[in-house]
Amino acid sequence: MLIFTLPGWYKSERYPENCLFIYEQMQAIKEKGHSVVVLSVQPIPIQQGKKPDHRIKKIIDNGIVTYYTEIMSVWPTKFKSIYVNSFSKALGRLINRAINEFGVPDLYYAHFSFAAGFAAVKLKGNVPLVTQEHFSLLMNENIDKKMKHYIKETVRNSDAFICVSQGLLESIEKFVDVDSYNVKVVTNMIDPCFKYYPLKQTDKFVFFSMGGLIKRKGFDLLIKAFSEEFKDDEKVILRIAGQGEEKKNLEECIHNLGIDKRIELIGQIGRERTLEEYTKCNAFVLASRAETYGLVYREAMAVGRPIISTRHGGIRTVPDYAGHLIDVDDFCQLKRALREIYTNYDKYDGKLISEKCLQECSSDSVVEKIISVFDEVTCKANIPSDQLE
C-alpha cells in the first residue's frame, strides 16, 4: 500500500524531537511492508525573523521519503483561517510533487485535523483519507467555533477518524455526532526502545517528570507539593526535563522554596537521554491539567516504573500495582501520592507494570490496529457504490 502521510506538525532539522511519535509510527508501518511518503509543511514563526523557504526539499529519512516546504506562521491557533489557507496551498504543492514521482497513493493519512486533516479533506479527491487526532487543545472546554468547524469537517469527510484516547473522543463528541461517522480509538504506540529495565539501587530516591514547561503541564503544583512533602529529606530528588515559557517562573519558585539542590530542571532531552532518565528514576510523576493521550506515562510504565497521573483525559485508570491516579490540581492528593510511592515502593512490581503496558501500547499491537483501519477504508473504496450497504 502506498501511503502519503500528512502531519500537521512534524520533526525537522531545527526541531528533531517535534512530533517524533508520528515518525516512529510511520517507520513501524513501513517495516510491515508498506510504502510511506511524508509530506511536511513546516510553519516558521514570524517572531523568528526568518523568511520561510517555499522551495520543496526532498530527503530520505531512514528509508522514508520526506518532502518539506515552509510557510510563515503568525499565531496559528488565533489567526486560523490565514494559517489553514497557507497550509493547504503548501500541502497541495507537496501532494502534486509526490504524485508526479510515485503516482496516486492508495491512502492519505493525516495527523491533526488542524490543519492537515482539514486541508486533506479539500485536496484528497477520490483517495481514501484516514485522520488521526492528537491535539491536546481539543480537551479544552472553551474551543472556539472556527476550531470546531475544522474538526467537524475533518470527522465528517474522513473515511476513518482515529482518536488516540477515549477521553479525546469524548471531548470531540461534545460538538460532533461521532456515532454517525467512522470514529475509532487507537492509542499511540511506544517505541520498542522502551522496555523493562530493572532498577539499580542507589542511596537516592528519584522522581522524574517530563513535558513542555507550560502551565498545562502542572509543574508549578508538582514543585510545591514535592517541596512541602520532602523538603527535609535529602535522599529524595525531583528531576524535570523540558523547555518552555514557564522555565523562568519555575526556576524562581524552586529558588524561593530553598530547594535548588533537590529539584533539577535538566532542559530538553532527546530519546536516548529520555530512556536513561526513565531507567534511573524510581517513579514518574506529571500533574498535567490536560492530555489527549499521555505518552510519557506509558513510556515510564513500559520501562517498569510506577506513575502518578492526574485525571486529565488521556489516562483513564491506573491499577494499584502501577501507581496513582489523582484529581487535576488537587494539591493534597498529589502530596499523598508522592509520599505513598516513596514509603511503600516495594509493593510496585516493575516487571508486571511493563508487561501490562506493552500488551496495549507496543509497536506491533498499535500498528496492527492502524493497518486494519487502512485495509477497511481502502477495501471499501474499491467496492462499487451499488454494492455498498
pLDDT tens-place string over residues 200-258: 989 999 999 999 999 999 999 999 999 999 998 999 999 999 999 999 999 999 999 99
Q: Which band of pLDDT confidence, cut at 50, 70 and 90, is reported for residue 389?
A: very low
Q: According to DSSP H, which parts of 214-343 are helical? A: 219-230, 247-256, 271-280, 295-303, 331-343
- pLDDT, average across residues 370-379: 96
**Best CA proximity match to 165, nearest among 366, 368, 371:** 366
pTM of the model: 0.85
- pLDDT, average across residues 305-330: 94
**Best CA proximity match to 14, nearest among 83, 66, 60, 70:** 70
- pLDDT, average across residues 44-61: 90
| Residue 388 pLDDT exceeds 70 | no
Beta pairing class for 57-61 and 64-73: antiparallel
CA distance 281 to 267: 16
Instruction: Spell out the domains of the chain, with CATH numbers in brackets.
Output: 2-189+363-387 (3.40.50.2000), 205-361 (3.40.50.2000)
**Best CA proximity match to 11, nearest among 45, 55, 61, 53:** 61
Q: Which band of pLDDT confidence, cut at 50, 70 and 90, is reported for residue 13?
A: confident
pLDDT of residue 386: 45
Q: What are phi and psi of 16, to 5 degrees?
A: -70, -15
pLDDT of residue 385: 42
| Residue 139 pLDDT exceeds 90 | no
Beta pairing class for 2-7 and 35-45: parallel
The top-scoring range by mean pLDDT among 167-171, 267-271, 344-348, 382-386 is: 344-348
